[in-house]
Amino acid sequence: MPTDVTPSVLDSSFIHMLTNASFVVQLVLATLLSASVVSWAVIFRKRRAISLTRTAAESFETAFWSGGELSALYQGIEGRALPATGVESIFEFGFREFNRLRKQTAIDAPQLMEGARRAMKVAQLREIDRLENGLEMLATIGSISPYVGLFGTVWGIMHAFRGLANVQQATLQMVAPGIAEALIATAIGLFAAIPAVVAYNRFSDQVSRLELRFDTFMEEFSTILQRHAAAPRSP
């Protein structure tokens, strides 16, 4: 059985098809590969951000429900060099606003709680915006990449058939390489789109779960602050 690789086999290689594709198809492929690189960069960055937020929330909630003083917990967050994120940020904003308003004697308990909840809501919205940042890029890449790849395929097939205009007798051997080059664009489009769509759906679900966790903590913390708001204030 011969082991030598013939030139015809080399001509059908993937690299050869890419280098011999038309300029438009090459441009489409470069765009899709760039989109795939951007997509994976967003995936790794977002995976790390969500994982760190979840771990920090678990650690903070353990300290929060350990029975320690809220003021000590707040001072520990304020004294750190790194800014608070996730549940810590919600606690920090809410407790800071609660203490600030509590020093004003003209504000009653309902107004005090309204201000604290408003501050916590602002912190929550900032955290959700931070966690969702980049997801729109995954959604865009996942939705348009197959169509970009299809455009490259259609253009490549048109280019392949246009090359037969001056040929008296067309054969499959003459058309097949051009069509194969064109179909690569569809394959690369799916290669870029599928991970982006899967990651977008997964991260969106995780962000929604974290948002629910933030809401639950806000309600629980508001109940604790309600008791403090009803307590007599120091002069």
And the tokens for 46?
Answer: 């977002």
Residue 93, pLDDT > 60, answer yes
Structure confidence by residue, pLDDT tens digits, 122-165: 999 999 999 999 999 999 999 999 999 999 888 888 877 776 66
pLDDT recorded at residue 11: 46
Cβ–Cβ < 8 Å for 170, 164: yes
Which is more confident, 170 or 24? 24
Residue 165 CA to residue 102 CA, distance in Å, equals 84
How far does CA 148 lie from the centroid of its chain? 21
- Look at residue 120 and tell me whether its pLDDT is greater than 90: yes
Q: Which residues contact residue 105 at a Cβ distance below 8 angstroms, ignoring those fewer than 6 apart?
A: 233
Looking at every residue in the chain, the average pLDDT score rounds to 85
How much of the chain exceeds pLDDT 70, in percent?
A: 82
Q: Give the model's pLDDT for residue 174.
A: 62
- Taking residues 29-44, what's their average pLDDT? 94
SS3 167: coil
- Least confident residue range of 28-37, 83-92, 164-173: 164-173
Q: Which residues, 6 or more positions from 115, have their beta carbon under 8 angstroms from its beta carbon? A: 97, 98, 101, 107
**Overall average pLDDT of the 63-73 stretch:** 88
CA distance 21 to 178: 7
Cite the beta strand spans of the chain per DSSP E.
none
CA dist., res. 30 & res. 23, Å (int): 10
- Alpha-carbon dihedral sign for residues 224, 230, 234, 235: positive
The residue assigned the tokens 């080059």 is: 181
- Please give the backbone phi and psi of residue 107, each rounded to the nearest 5 degrees, phi first: -100, 125
Q: In a 3-state reduction of DSSP, which class is residue 212?
A: helix
Give yes or no for a contact between 46 and 203, defined as CB atoms under 8 angstroms apart. Answer: yes
